[in-house]
Structure 1
């Protein structure tokens, strides 16, 4: 019984972790975003296997607690050992501070972290050594700090999981890993989106109260420090549980195999999900996914894109009509789901300008976003290739000199710019676009008097559009056509924007307000553009980067990928294109409308060509989907394949071309042809990127020199 008491810091913290995790699962189970009902067996699985996962994850996470507790002793401060150990700490500290330690070879923040850690350890050891009368008090407060830190992390993790679920409808995933990299924007977004001060004030108060009771139940460990033999027993027990946990945690993760995605997410442990996302941010298609011989993959792809040959997508695009050298303005709108627009069934009138503009445009009614992040949308309209597994090409190291929409315009003698109201460093946009021949205009390009409103993501859309008008006026005087790609920011949490612009105040942080202000700013942009001499010779392409949410009952819910897209030019004849198409087809279709002759490597197609075969790509960072012939085929890691028959679930009063809701019914038998088509697209895209077949330098022509000069 006495030995059991020595384990009190472990089991008291574990009990807290289990209670918090259990409570969190109940809260998430009844959260509005959890659009599912659960059978008794599913609920039992969620809580029983979830508890087991929590237990083993806690064992692994307790490694630092074990290290701290097992090294608590009085004997190490006795003479002369205490002075020898202190001398060792000081020598190590000098070595680390010299700047020539082994940690400096790794660079980054690691040397500073190790230096600070050893410095704190040295100071604490000196205090224990030279202030023996205060040893007990110092040890108590240090013990209290360690317990406080664990309690804080347990509670903070639960809060973070809740808010992440509130935003995405899943436990931690690849997005959470990305958020760690861009701390300025993300922390700023959190500060502006949520009542942070009250939340964290309450968090620290509750943490303090819980810590008080845990210390009260656990301080026997430092009041009566375990003997050497007792520490050996504790270490042996912990080592056994630690080794078991190393196998149990990934084993339990494999039981997350329900057809209901919410069951899998609720059963999972958020901390382990974060670890998996961190490990799997780079996914080698050929290692993790179902493959076929490359020759076969490209042979199947030639059925979809007949003009290609060999193991690449290079082909000649020839038009019969005279080329139109019009200016082009591409506007990718942040988080604009199709169902925000009136034609798709929205009754709140939050996109009145877009609704009216759509009636005057070439409107694509059946377009699907390639992914659920801004970088995926930018990748889709810039590189026009399917969303490959893992990180977007925008954020990869090998992201430069690609065949892109910008490179086509550069070959045609256009000025090419990427405009973003925030810091283009975010999501690696600066590196990607500058590395592909674009000139960057971002927040750093704005004069102080050009900014009327900004939040953590950047200047408001009105300010961005005003800047764009100035730049385009200057470009128009150069007797060269321009291509300007504008990425908006206002329709993003915290949804703050200037007051007195629309009938929804900007300080109430409403998503509907964010959408309506985005629409308002777009109207103001067009009102200004109409007054400019270049307006009548300009084509405007408007498309969403992705939907406002990707959470749903299935891995890839179709309604969460449906986006609006349109092409407008003054005095054009309105038209609707209703066939299925992908976000990657928008720009190749534009090039066709402009009658561009060019060499293409795009996977995207001109949807008005007679050989176009309707299909769309939708994906997360690991689930790769193809919609074709009324079937959704999904490729997942570990060579997993799922197929669903798509059955329309019509919304009354909505025209057929604007219906977005489908039931995804698992196929009883595999459609091997569609599986091969899906594999061919994603495998070929992965292959050309890996083998550097998607580089701009792979093309021939005198305009390559122009591209190199721009870069």
Structure 2
């Protein structure tokens, strides 16, 4: 304990104590804001949280530790150095407070500590910074934090001075202290990771409370891809392949690959090939619960509620993930959400797949990705241009054609105007078109052109949802006057819901999204209630065209399921799930295997063995999808 009489140790202890205090206050505030969901925050939750806090400090204080230990005694005793320590304390306080506020805002938006989303936000800083500036009073917030930090640093001036005036250790003692700091950091690296000691399963909110936000951020940054075979439960290749084929085998389907985990198969759709135009609109953050026809009483979706009666509407449809890139991956490639980053964002490995766009381009379609923002965000331009599409985004649109834009891009009505222009140009060339749109307006800061609806711009998500609905109504009204309308399939589907956090790792009710297929002269309206997800959309659309093709899709044609067992596949970077309409199986890192029986009701969690039937189905999908990605079995070639 004699180490604590030395100046560097005293100063580091002071900083660490302040950090730990702010971490504790942050944890308490987060708990209080989600008390109903988190339940009782037990002593164990806070004790585990303290371990993560200490593990973070063991890393974070290493640079300062070595500076203080290497600082010459003559420099240490100078007045200038003492002022520097005081300034460092003030700056550290400001960073601590800023981190605490950022954690609260992130928790309020996503219901979790910093994770992959926060990492992505750092990578795509332009959009995120502009979004923050448009959403929050940043100037006032930073000024307030700076004033608080200065005030607290003045209160700590005496302890800082006492630490600076304490004796410096001898060279041998400094060496021992430095080696001890390195050993402590190494021990934390071995004993503490994203799941240990907080564990898996149980109440997800409590597990997040037991985490440390900055620690989770750097852990997510380090582990942005997870090798399935290394971290998850696996089956012998033949067993997994047989299970997968039983999931995908239907009439007129023959598998063509030699690898037991190869899902490539020849699809023989009966009937004469049709080439209707397709407009596939992916709606940003649009939960099914927003619709009045699903019970919402706020009258936010009058156009979509009316469209539901005129469309083929799928009322039991689910997103695969929690982010836009996951929705685009599932819709475009028809693949389950493999762990870590989506394929869309795996730079250098995002192209060359047998996508929906490639299949349609091969049949003479003009496949176009039309985006309201700048397509470099989330690597979308590289993904779509490398998989059979040409790209029209904000950067390719003249400013005179944009009536309104915010941090994320042009308003939905401007996006639809661009889509109509592309459709008109292709129709004039007598070329069928496939337009895959992605909207942006239903996203914080929730701003849109004035005078469109009865809710003010920037006044929360309700207004953004209602504007999204209004823009769809205007788009379809204009489209109905086009000569190509009668031969066009209009598809409206969400990329993900507005909030997916819950008490479970994969709360299935929070993945429920709408799907409309509207073509009044091509398709009879009605309600479809079978369990389905975004990965089923591509094979269903190609089935409507009676298109024969070689499929790498993991989805099914929803009109030709032929009695296959129901399932949807959902994930959130680390946890991978399969829901069969009643129960949920979850695969987690380090071969964690769980079930949630009655997943939409009581959601009774239990750990199970690998021979559990639902677990076997789940492993087959994810093991095969990860293997197919690594072995390039999902690639496109001219023979497809």
| TM-score normalised by structure 2 residue count | 0.93
Q: Which moved more, 1:604-613 or 1:510-519?
A: 604-613
The offset of 1:234, in angstroms, is 5.2
Task: For residue 38 of structure 2, give the secondary structure of its aligned residue in structure 1.
Answer: coil
Check 1:56–1:588 CA distance in 2 against 1; reply closer, same or farther (3 A cut): closer
Alignment equivalent of 1:593, drawn from 540, 544, 550:
544
Q: How far apart, in 2, do the equivalents of 1:502 and 1:59 lie? A: 53
Task: For residue 663 of structure 1, give the secondary structure of its aligned residue in structure 2.
Answer: coil
The offset of 1:221, in angstroms, is 4.4
Are 1:320 and 2:273 counterparts?
Answer: no
State the Cα RMSD in Å.
2.1
The offset of 1:610, in angstroms, is 4.4
Alignment equivalent of 2:574, drawn from 609, 613, 622:
622
Check 1:238–1:467 CA distance in 2 against 1; reply closer, same or farther (3 A cut): same
Are 1:561 and 2:511 counterparts?
Answer: yes
Give the equivalent residue in structure 2 for 1:539: 489
Task: For residue 507 of structure 1, give the secondary structure of its aligned residue in structure 2.
Answer: coil
Check 1:250–1:502 CA distance in 2 against 1; reply closer, same or farther (3 A cut): farther
Q: What whole-Å deviation, never above 9, does each CA across 1:134-160 have from its counterpart, x for those lacking one?
A: x94543443233222222222121112
Alignment equivalent of 2:628, drawn from 662, 682, 688:
688
Give the equivalent residue in structure 1 for 2:24: 22
Q: Which moved more, 1:347-356 or 1:267-276?
A: 267-276
Task: For residue 565 of structure 2, give the secondary structure of its aligned residue in structure 1.
Answer: coil
Q: Which moved more, 1:10-19 or 1:325-334?
A: 10-19
The offset of 1:73, in angstroms, is 2.6
Are 1:272 and 2:211 counterparts?
Answer: no
Q: How far apart, in 2, do the equivalents of 1:260 and 1:165 lie? A: 16
The answer to whether the Cα contact below 8 Å between 2:355 and 2:388 also exists between their aligned partners in 1 is no
Q: How far apart, in 2, do the equivalents of 1:217 and 1:75 lie? A: 20
The offset of 1:242, in angstroms, is 4.5
Task: For residue 42 of structure 2, give the secondary structure of its aligned residue in structure 1.
Answer: helix
Are 1:377 and 2:318 counterparts?
Answer: no
The offset of 1:445, in angstroms, is 1.2
Check 1:402–1:496 CA distance in 2 against 1; reply closer, same or farther (3 A cut): same
Q: How far apart, in 2, do the equivalents of 1:610 and 1:172 lie? A: 40
The answer to whether the Cα contact below 8 Å between 1:185 and 1:457 also exists between their aligned partners in 2 is yes
The answer to whether the Cα contact below 8 Å between 1:50 and 1:267 also exists between their aligned partners in 2 is yes
Q: 1:368-407 maps to which residues of 2 (within 5 A)?
A: 368-396=318-346, 397-407=348-358
The answer to whether the Cα contact below 8 Å between 2:311 and 2:519 also exists between their aligned partners in 1 is yes
Q: 1:27-38 maps to which residues of 2 (within 5 A)?
A: 27-32=29-34, 35-38=37-40
Unaligned residue ranges in structure 2 (runs of 5+): none
Q: What whole-Å deviation, never above 9, does each CA across 1:36-93 have from its counterpart, x for those lacking one?
A: 312xxx510122232233234223211122223223336589xxxxxxxxxxxxxxxx
Q: How far apart, in 2, do the equivalents of 1:531 and 1:414 lie? A: 22
The answer to whether the Cα contact below 8 Å between 1:13 and 1:214 also exists between their aligned partners in 2 is no
Name the larger-Rg structure: 1
Q: How far apart, in 2, do the equivalents of 1:315 and 1:518 lie? A: 38
Give the equivalent residue in structure 2 for 1:339: 289
Q: 1:114-125 maps to which residues of 2 (within 5 A)?
A: none
The answer to whether the Cα contact below 8 Å between 1:57 and 1:249 also exists between their aligned partners in 2 is no
The answer to whether the Cα contact below 8 Å between 2:38 and 2:206 also exists between their aligned partners in 1 is no
Alignment equivalent of 1:263, drawn from 186, 192, 206:
206
Are 1:289 and 2:232 counterparts?
Answer: yes
Give the equivalent residue in structure 2 for 1:98: none
The answer to whether the Cα contact below 8 Å between 1:28 and 1:162 also exists between their aligned partners in 2 is yes
Task: For residue 161 of structure 1, give the secondary structure of its aligned residue in structure 2.
Answer: helix
The answer to whether the Cα contact below 8 Å between 1:49 and 1:252 also exists between their aligned partners in 2 is no
The offset of 1:470, in angstroms, is 1.4
Alignment equivalent of 2:361, drawn from 405, 410, 415:
410
Unaligned residue ranges in structure 1 (runs of 5+): 78-134, 648-660, 702-711
Give the equivalent residue in structure 1 for 2:65: 66
Are 1:181 and 2:123 counterparts?
Answer: yes
Q: What whole-Å deviation, never above 9, does each CA across 1:326-373 have from its counterpart, x for those lacking one?
A: 000000000001111123221111111111101110111111101000
Q: Which moved more, 1:148-157 or 1:542-551?
A: 148-157
The offset of 1:590, in angstroms, is 1.5
The answer to whether the Cα contact below 8 Å between 1:168 and 1:549 also exists between their aligned partners in 2 is yes
Q: How far apart, in 2, do the equivalents of 1:441 and 1:489 lie? A: 14
Q: How far apart, in 2, do the equivalents of 1:154 and 1:667 lie? A: 38
The offset of 1:22, in angstroms, is 1.1
Count residues with an aligned counterpart.
624
Check 1:238–1:18 CA distance in 2 against 1; reply closer, same or farther (3 A cut): farther
Give the equivalent residue in structure 2 for 1:665: 604
Check 1:548–1:561 CA distance in 2 against 1; reply closer, same or farther (3 A cut): same
Give the equivalent residue in structure 2 for 1:704: none
Q: How far apart, in 2, do the equivalents of 1:527 and 1:387 lie? A: 36
Q: Which moved more, 1:246-255 or 1:344-353?
A: 246-255
Give the equivalent residue in structure 1 for 2:280: 330
Give the equivalent residue in structure 1 for 2:591: 639
The answer to whether the Cα contact below 8 Å between 1:490 and 1:514 also exists between their aligned partners in 2 is yes
The answer to whether the Cα contact below 8 Å between 1:73 and 1:225 also exists between their aligned partners in 2 is no
Give the equivalent residue in structure 2 for 1:492: 443
